[in-house]
Amino acid sequence: MKKLLSILIAVILFYPSMAIVPNYTLEKSLNANTIMIPIGKTGDKISLAAFSKLTPAAYEKLAHVKLGFFDRIAYKKAMRKLNKSIELDGTITNKKVALLVKPIDDPLNGFNLGGFALGLLIGLLGVLIAYLINDSNKSSRIKWAWIGFAVWIALILVFAVL
């Protein structure tokens, strides 16, 4: 009986440690020279590196817009920040900028099964767990955990009425 109890305690203690395995994926760095962004309503595209070098007057000409005084100041400030996040070889160093221009590789268009399962199966505690996990998919996981929680509430209401 003592051996069975000690084995059970060992399994309970070591089981969560087996589930926590770091994911060592090497992310390719994004190159600002290859990322094309649309300018204005005409559909013209320009590389992110060239866009970061545009003056307000050149931007007005390309986008066919008129910038006010405060818009020019905000534009210059944003371009200065964008310039600092692009290295000389074109790689993007700022993680926030890289997330904005990163192409969407998810074939399900943003659906996060883990977040949805957390909200649906665990409820409000699952939403809390989704907030506590930090990685690149955090916002998607939180959104789908809330959606899963809403489905969980809807199912409880449906079964309560029946």
* 13 falls within a domain: no
- CA 126, CA 147: separation in Å to the nearest integer? 11
* 85 falls within a domain: yes
The answer on 123 and 76 residing in a single domain is: no
How confident is the prediction for the chain on average, in pLDDT? 81
Q: Tell me what pLDDT residue 108 has.
A: 47
The answer on 126 and 89 residing in a single domain is: no
The answer on 113 and 96 residing in a single domain is: no
* pLDDT one-digit tens code per residue, 26-57: 456 778 888 888 887 777 888 888 888 999 99
Q: How confident is the model at residue 146 (pLDDT cuts 50, 70, 90)?
A: very high
* 18 falls within a domain: no
Give the other-Cβ count within 10 Å of 78's Cβ.
11
* 116 falls within a domain: yes
Domain boundary among 101, 118, 139: 101
Q: Tell me what pLDDT residue 69 has.
A: 94
The answer on 71 and 53 residing in a single domain is: yes
Domain boundary among 54, 84, 101: 101
Domain boundary among 101, 129, 145: 101
Q: What is the pTM of this model?
A: 0.47
Question: Could you tell me the residue range of the domain that residue 142 belongs to?
Answer: 107-162
* 29 falls within a domain: no
The answer on 46 and 97 residing in a single domain is: yes
* 15 falls within a domain: no
* pLDDT one-digit tens code per residue, 118-144: 999 998 999 999 999 888 788 888 999
Give the number of domains in the chain.
2
The answer on 92 and 42 residing in a single domain is: yes
